[in-house]
């Protein structure tokens, strides 16, 4: 008996006429529980359902997401869809680019899936969204048009900073003042500051926004001193409704510049104007910063941005690939193993991560979808060799053993207990990723094992890291430690 037959009266009729979006909502709720929030959010959180008549299509955000869904979740999706859809409609799977290029389906509402890794469906709309006047104002300030909230990929590492920036940009009351975002280079601070500026200009075009780097603040101030134009310089900044200064740590060790910045900060805050800055570390760690200035920066909201986790790095790659594909006129697709390799190899800087993808696109262009993992590694090998310290299998074994509270001897022993076998597979996978050793050579260093054992371990971890959030976190932590 079908599902509709089990429900009596009006409930059965309502179920029989259930829209496809309602069926997908029920299906996705089960999937989210089975796959976990992180995995579901990364690959299915941005999928939408499109239908026309009896035709229904699940539209993945990217070709990479489509391939992952087909490989790891499509069978289960089919089972759940059949279970929840009394009308027996056939469900197809396509990427957004495939659907948009043929116009075969009309868009339906996407599922309500809260996900920190939020990749916006369209990313080439800066000019459409920014009014011409605001766009001109932003360009005069030196803002980069590609750095908006729409193109910022949020995740656990930066979601608090992201929400704070949005609140400040909305000109809402109850904000902290000043706000300081800090984190090492390549973590998205400049992107966030530009995005905040664009949004603030769009929201209130009549308000005065000033954006500049600390280096420009310094050079402009020095020139004003030389030209005896300090009064004009002060008026320019202290009449701002929102002052944004990037890389404020640059003024450390420059007493006169710090003095001027301190008085500018005090004047703006006391007058109810907003101030947002970025730095490469927290104020307490900027030893050469004048104590009064450091104290006032700490008096507001000091917001750290952490390194991007693996899911966030994958989301950034998908977003960057879509941007490059739109600019180059090719399909936004790459093999999942290639993007996963990039996400696992470039863990310390979003800038380096995007740079690696830029390198691949520059070399192969529209053929990126056909690029194999070996080809990608070959193209990036010179870049990798100059950016990584030498890592040995012995170092990997010691680190993995310590992480899992084992002895290094356990990893090369004959023990097959899961508590030892899984860490051993992790160590083999890392050795394949970050050393130049061949599979047989790696096997020999793990107690004389055959290369097929190493290959099985590599494939097993490749599969698990997409399904098991714990394994993904372990790999992320271990790779970071190995690279210092």
pLDDT in tens, 248-266: 888 888 888 889 989 999 9
Q: How high is the pLDDT of residue 137?
A: 64
d(CA 79, CA 77): 5
d(CA 272, CA 241): 8
Q: With a cut of 50, which residues of the chain have pLDDT below it?
A: 1-15, 102-130, 386-387
* Global pTM exceeds 0.85: no
Q: How high is the pLDDT of residue 421?
A: 92
Half-sphere exposure of 417 (CA within 13 A, CB side): 6
Residue 153 near residue 116 (C-beta atoms within 8 A):
no
- Convert the pLDDT of each residue in 384-398 to its tens digit: 654 455 778 888 999
d(CA 245, CA 212): 5
Residue 169 near residue 292 (C-beta atoms within 8 A):
no
Q: How high is the pLDDT of residue 422?
A: 93
Pairing between strand 301-304 and 209-213? Answer: unpaired
Q: How high is the pLDDT of residue 38?
A: 61
Q: How high is the pLDDT of residue 100?
A: 63
Longest distance between any two alpha carbons in the chain, whole Å? 89
Strand order of the β-sheet with 48-52 is 48-52, 55-60, 91-95
Q: How high is the pLDDT of residue 102?
A: 46
């Amino acid at each position: 008996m079908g599902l509709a037959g089990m429900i009596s009266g009006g409930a059965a009729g309502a179920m029989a006429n259930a829209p496809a979006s309602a069926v997908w909502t029920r299906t996705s709720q089960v999937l989210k529980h089975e796959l976990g929030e992180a995995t579901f959010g990364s690959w299915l959180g941005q999928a939408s359902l499109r239908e026309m008549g009896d035709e229904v299509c699940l539209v993945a955000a990217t070709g990479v997401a489509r391939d992952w869904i087909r490989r790891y979740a499509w069978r289960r999706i089919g089972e759940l869809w059949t279970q929840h859809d009394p009308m027996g409609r056939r469900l197809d799977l396509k990427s957004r680019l495939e659907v948009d290029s043929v116009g075969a389906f009309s868009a339906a509402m996407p599922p309500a899936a809260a996900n920190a890794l939020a990749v916006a469906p369209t990313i080439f709309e800066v000019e459409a969204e920014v009014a011409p006047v605001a766009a001109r104002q932003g360009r005069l300030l030196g803002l980069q048009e590609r750095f908006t909230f729409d193109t910022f990929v949020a995740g656990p590492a930066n979601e608090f900073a992201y929400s704070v920036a949005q609140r400040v940009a909305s000109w809402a009351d109850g904000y902290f003042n000043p706000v300081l975002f800090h984190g090492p280079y390549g973590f998205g601070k400049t992107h966030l500051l530009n995005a905040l500026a664009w949004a603030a200009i769009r929201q209130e075009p009549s308000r005065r926004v000033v954006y500049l780097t600390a280096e420009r603040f310094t050079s402009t101030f020095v020139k004003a001193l030389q030209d005896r134009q300090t009064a004009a310089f002060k008026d320019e900044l202290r009449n701002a409704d929102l002052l944004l200064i990037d890389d404020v740590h640059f003024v450390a060790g420059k007493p006169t510049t710090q003095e001027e910045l301190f008085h500018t900060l005090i004047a703006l805050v006391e007058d109810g104007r907003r101030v947002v800055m970025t730095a490469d570390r927290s104020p307490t760690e900027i030893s050469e910063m004048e104590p009064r200035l450091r104290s006032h920066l700490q008096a507001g909201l000091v917001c750290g941005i952490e390194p991007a986790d693996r899911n966030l790095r994958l989301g950034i790659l998908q977003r960057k690939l879509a941007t490059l594909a739109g600019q180059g006129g090719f399909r936004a697709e790459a093999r999942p193993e290639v993007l996963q390799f990039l996400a696992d190899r470039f863990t310390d800087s979003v800038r380096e991560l995007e740079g690696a993808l830029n390198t691949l696109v520059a070399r192969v262009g529209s053929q990126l979808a056909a690029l194999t993992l070996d080809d990608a590694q070959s193209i990036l090998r010179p870049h990798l060799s100059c950016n990584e310290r030498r890592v040995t299998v012995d170092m990997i074994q010691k680190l993995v053993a310590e992480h899992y509270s084992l002895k290094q001897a356990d990893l090369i022993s004959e023990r097959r207990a899961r508590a030892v076998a899984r860490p051993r597979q992790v160590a083999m996978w890392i050795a394949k990723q970050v050393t130049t050793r061949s599979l047989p050579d790696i096997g020999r260093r793990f107690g004389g094992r055959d290369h097929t054992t190493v290959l099985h371990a590599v494939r097993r971890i490749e599969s698990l890291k997409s399904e098991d959030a714990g394994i993904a976190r372990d790999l992320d932590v271990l790779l970071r430690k190995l690279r210092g």
